Structure 1
Amino acid sequence: MNLQVKQRIPLKIKRMGINGEGIGFYKKTLVFVPGALKGEEVFCQVASVRRNFVQAKLLKINKPSKFRVEPECGVYKECGGCQLMHLRYDKQLEFKTDLLGQALKKFKPEHFESYDIRPTIGMKEPRHYRAKLQFQTRSFGGGSVKAGLFAEGSHRLININNCVVQDKLTQAIMNQVVVLLDKYKLPIYDERKISGIRTVMIRRALGSNQVQLIFVTSKSVSFAKLVKELTAIYPEIVTIAINYNYSKSSEIYGQETEIIWGQDTIREEVLDYSFELSPRAFYQLNPQQTEVLYGQAVKALDVDKNDNLIDAYCGVGTIGLAFANKVKDIRGMDIIPEAIDDARKNAEALGLENYHYEVGKAEDIIPRWYKEGYRADALIVDPPRTGLDDKLLQTILEYVPEKMVYVSCNVSTLSRDLVSLTQAYEVNYIQSVDMFPHTARTEAVVKLTRKM
């Protein structure tokens, strides 16, 4: 490889990579250029040289793509939270369908060339869709409080007060929180001392318009004056909690969460039922597309009244509860105790009796259930970005429920897991749903049926 750091080169962009970057070849060397689009001719500068590829910084676009648009966001290039805002939205959807194809080609699960990969389902209005905000707070050199996201690959905070993809109400509340943190001189996180308020989470339930907040702090703080003033300005706020995180790690939350004002949960709605969410419980951050995603999951699993269903990684029960009146019984598990408490309360509130939820890991609980004699006819998995645990994969392959739906937020780990799952299952189709417009991420619903 003859390329050197800081060397400037012309490049024709041949395709786009899984992180939304442009990819081209310079004298047979693979070059990744964030911000460049397929078909563009660019001038770039080598930023780093690796064994098999080069990373470069975009300097100039000599021939722009006809699908390039001007990003609405003022901090788009600095923030790194979005990767595709410079690409026209319909082409973003095509890119996300192609993402699946790229990942499948890399891992090569059985018969992947013939999979039915359906066009990505997008949004009519792909702005202000994020109903959950999670901003870091910092105060540099004793100055005013800033809140936002870290620039990609750094601890440099980008102050954000008007995010294009964030729900308008949560952004407005965050802006007011910053003002009040300043006003009452509350301690803001210092990375050297590991002390102060480090993160603020704000979530709005689309179904009820109720809002909850979590202040993540590494020291005891009195929020009484801030809470009184904030809740007077925003009556939509019904829950305020403190999470204590004393760790040096990048983990956002610690283990201890305390409600300091208001009620324990907020009420959300999806499909034809409502449910409660405690502050730490997981729920999709795009409620509008969650309706689409869960609808696709229900359609794909195609259960009947005699089926026993396992909802792995169940959270507060949101996907599984959509099946509760369609199956014989439903079981689920999650590692967050508050989520399982919510799942039980949600099932009870719906008048259900055919449910069982446990705290723990799917890879530990499901094998135990099978040893105890339980058998699932249908299985739905919605794992974190790391995909399915090896132990759980082996359990699935050992007992092979007849019907399975895999809901994935990471096309790479999905494709990797399909290598194992296709030993026992046929992939009927993959439906991509755009949960994260303007980013390089997508969700996918995979319908699988046991091989005959």
Structure 2
Amino acid sequence: MRVKQRIPLKIKRMGINGEGIGFHKGTLVFVPGALKGEDVFCQISRVKPNYAEARLLKVNKASRFRVDPACPIYETCGGCQIMHLQYRKQLEFKRDVLKQALKKFKPEGYEDYELRPTLGMKKPTYYRGKLQFQTRRVKGKVAAGLFAENSHRLVPVMDCLVQDKTTQAIVNRTAELLDDLNIPIYDERKEQGVRTVMVRRARKTGQVHMIFVLSGRLKLGRLVQRLTEEFPAIRTIAVNIQPKKTSEIYGVETEIIWGSEHIQEGVLDYDFELSPRAFYQLNPQQTEVLYQEAVKALEVKPTDHLIDAYCGVGTIGFAFANKVASVRGMDIIPEAIEDAKSNARRMGYDNTYYEAGTAESIIPRWYAEGYRADALIVDPPRTGLDDKLLQTILTYQPEQMVYVSCNVSTLARDLKTLAQAYQVEYIQSVDMFPHTARTEAVVKLLKK
């Protein structure tokens, strides 16, 4: 095969990124936008020793599950990957990608794992409670949106079908005001101005906070005044300084320049506070489902001691705080740990302890100091569990654990290690990100 070659292709299955996969003369070909069972005509865009990538040119025979994406910028934005697939089939696909990941890494006994049907949404639109849009000048005007895939070309996003409508309205107005007030906008050549706007809205209270990521100090007083006058739901506005030319969105320093330190949110039967930089799930409605599944998977006793690794503001652990003897948690974001401590005090829990730092460094120290956990919850980032933490778990082996994953590949990789000491009871996938190729999963593990 060669680049620009055009070939017909029968799509045999879908890959973990939502692309169609076929075979041409024994070589795997990945075709974004193609669906299982389709006959397509495509053009090779990249050739590697073991596979090729291709651009979809025409669907000659369409899948009966293909639908017209409702989003007008679906193909240019790249934020969603499978909006052209009927939603019911999206849920089946997400269970299948979990199966594919397990087959690739082959943790012990994976063929017998119980993979439960994916739990979806009744209305899989406007679900994202948080956005992080880049700001640039497009055709002379300030625009906010996402970079097209594998590029630094901004695609303005004015009406995202998966984004909360209030946060979308706020970021749209913010772009207009940045223009009207002539506030400098970041340019990768000049490297000066507003780089990114973050807007998050609490589902329970409707309260909003914002972060402006700047390449250097700017005066935002008039912008803050206009925004807070027009949107009374805004409770907090902060700035973060990111002077480096990097793909990392945030710098080290975050400062609140207007309003309160927190917004109020709630999940299950408790409320908590969120500071601007603290992690919380992007889909508040499905977070309720996800946490319910975590609670069901962990059968604790009043005498148990629980570790909530990657605890964020403490949200999952709080579901168990009145059921166990103690809850301990850690997170690498100091603001999140302060929120966790504050939330625990406000809810009257005196059996909780939180510390800033990495799980792989803190847990061994706790064990060295004599603490023993009967149960463990891990909810790591997409990179999965650190090798040192995996070895720590295998060394001390709490009786049971729940692994909440947002990346099926790193989950399957980690289960290969954990299966040395733990039996996987079941895996329950939860659709936190409809129309994307991503899924969350809750894994129940018991010590062998």
> What TM-score comes out, normalization by structure 1 length?
0.99
CA distance in 1, matches of 2:196, 2:65: 37
* Residues 5-404 of structure 1: pairs in structure 2 closer than 5 A: 5-140=3-138, 143-404=140-401
CA-based RMSD of the aligned residues comes to 0.6
One-letter identity of the residue aligned with 2:207: Q
- Distance of 1:178 and 1:384 partners within structure 2: 30
CA distance in 1, matches of 2:383, 2:253: 24
Distance, in Å, in 1 between the alignment partners of 2:377 and 2:162 is: 29
Separation in 1, partners of 2:138, 2:118? 42
Q: How far did residue 14 of structure 1 move?
A: 0.3
Q: What is the alpha-carbon distance in structure 2 between the residues aligned to residue 192 and residue 102 of structure 1? A: 42
Q: Where has structure 1 moved over 6 Å in runs of 4 or more?
A: none
Q: Which amino acid is the alignment partner of residue 223 of structure 2?
A: L
TM-aligned CA deviation for residue 249 of structure 1: 1.1
Any stretches of 5+ residues in structure 1 without a counterpart? Answer: none
State the distance in 2 between where 1:396 and 1:220 align: 44
- Residue by residue, what CA displacement relative to the aligned partner does 1:294-322 show, whole Å, maximum 9, x if unpaired? 00001101111000000000000010111
Whole-angstrom CA distance in 2 between matches of 1:319 and 1:255? 26
The CA deviation string for residues 333-386 of structure 1, in whole angstroms up to 9 with x for no partner, is: 001110000000000010000011000000000000011111000000000000
- SS at structure 1 position matched to 2:187: coil
TM-superposed CA distance for 1:246, in Å, is 0.8
Q: TM-score, normalised by structure 2?
A: 0.99
SS of the residue corresponding to residue 145 of structure 1 reads: strand
User: Which amino acid in structure 2 is aligned with residue 77 of structure 1?
Assistant: E
Paired positions, count: 448
Partner AA of 1:402 in structure 2? E
Give the match's secondary structure for 2:171. helix
Following the alignment from structure 1 to structure 2, what is the Cα–Cα distance between the partners of residues 244 and 220? 7
How many angstroms does 1:395 deviate by?
Answer: 0.5
**TM superposition shift of 1:140:** 4.5
Q: 1:239-298 deviations in whole A, cap 9, x for unaligned?
A: 100011111111000111111111000000000000000000000000000000000001
Distance 1:60 1:421 in 2: 44
Rounded to whole Å, the distance in 1 between the matches of 2:72 and 2:218 is: 33
| 1:129-161 residue CA offsets vs partner (Å, 9 max, x unmatched) | 0000100000147x1101100001110100110
Letter matched to residue 32 of structure 1: F
Match of 1:433 among 411, 418, 430: 430
Give the 3-state SS of the residue equivalent to 2:328 in structure 1. strand
Give the C-alpha shift of residue 193 in structure 1.
Answer: 2.5
Q: Compute the displacement of 1:226 (Å).
A: 1.0
Give the Cα–Cα distance (whole angstroms) in 2 for the partners of residues 228 and 370 of structure 1: 50
SS at match of 2:277: coil
